[in-house]
Structures are given as structure tokens and as C-alpha cells.
Amino acid sequence: MVTVGAGGLAIGWLEKHYGASIPTLPFVGKKGAVALAIHFFKPHNKWIQAAGIAAAAISGYELGTTGAVTGEDDDVDGIASQM
């Protein structure tokens, strides 16, 4: 659990310092893009794996609570507002 918490910290730091460089994917946003990249590259480092789990969890949480993921599309209010 500590590694996933540290992974969340790493995702926040990454988005704060390199947010403009992270690609934005439809529906999953920047954090989802990071989670997918980590998933498909299958790193052996447990800390990087934990960052991917944290990114997926944060992305899912944001989608569930606000209907959008930060960085998804700044012009769209999100799925929840369209219902």
C-alpha cells in the first residue's frame, strides 16, 4: 500500500512538472495515458508499477466523481454534465 501511495505522489509530481509534455487521450486524460503507458510497457520495477496503479485509480476516481478526468479535454465539461 505504501508503494501505491508513493506512486500517487509520483503521478502528482509528474503532472505538476511535466503536465504539458504528457499526451492527453480521449476519455482517460493525462493520468490515464500514464497508466496505460505503464501497463503496456510492463516495467519490472515495483515502484513504477505502483505509479501505474495509482494513476489508474486517480483517473477512475476523477471520472466517477466529476464525470471527467483532468487533462481529458479542457473544452468539454465532462460526461456527467451531458446527462
pLDDT at residue 55, rounded to an integer? 93
Number of domains making up the chain: 1
What does the pLDDT look like over 48-64, one tens digit per residue? 999 999 999 998 888 88
Q: What is the pLDDT of residue 20?
A: 87
Domain of 8 in residue numbering reads as 2-82
- Per-residue model confidence (pLDDT) at position 53: 94
Contact indicator for 10, 54 with CB cutoff of 8 Å: yes
Q: How confident is the model at residue 26 (pLDDT cuts 50, 70, 90)?
A: confident
Residue % of the chain over a pLDDT of 70: 84
11-to-35, 36, 62 alpha-carbon distances in Å: 9, 13, 14
- Cell readout for 27 is 476519455
Q: Is 60 exceeded by the pLDDT of residue 75?
A: no
Reported pTM: 0.77
